[in-house]
Amino acid sequence: MIEKAQTPPNFGGVLNDVCHMLPLRVYYEDTDFSGIVYHANYLRFFERGRTEFIRALGVDQLALHREEGIAFAVRSIQVEFMRPALMDDIIEVETKAGEVRGPSLHLEQTIRRGEEVLTTAKVLVVCIRNGRPQRLPESLRTVLSRA
């Protein structure tokens, strides 16, 4: 049977006053043999959400690394799995900035299918330069304080 497929709106996501929302489709490659998203792939979805969140704030991570030698590394992540995402689902990754202190940025992320919460994560990201913690640049701190 041929039906019109669902197409997510904006693949770069949408930044509003509260959070960043990134729509994603679940592909066959994301699932295990039963058609359920393999648990480790949620980390990939969260990473995409964080990357697009930073991009939506106007931060070019590649330029930041090339020009200032700064990169971001996940220091810790706590994930809670509530419900499975399934093959061909349209999901949304919500990313909210939390506390910024020194080199650290706390983020809260949620993956939803419609209104249904599937997975949540609390993420601690650290700014690094030459493999060492580096205070977040003031320009980035300013942008994050508005997010």
Active-site amino acid positions: 32
* Beta pairing, strands 90-101 & 104-113: antiparallel
Specify the DSSP element, H or E, that contains 28: none
Give the E-state strand segments of 3-69 in sequence order.
14-15, 20-25
Give the span between the Cα atoms of 127 and 135, in whole angstroms: 7
Residue 118 amino acid letter: L
Residues ≥6 apart with Cβ < 8 Å to 12: 22, 52, 55, 56
CB 103 within 8 A of CB 134: yes
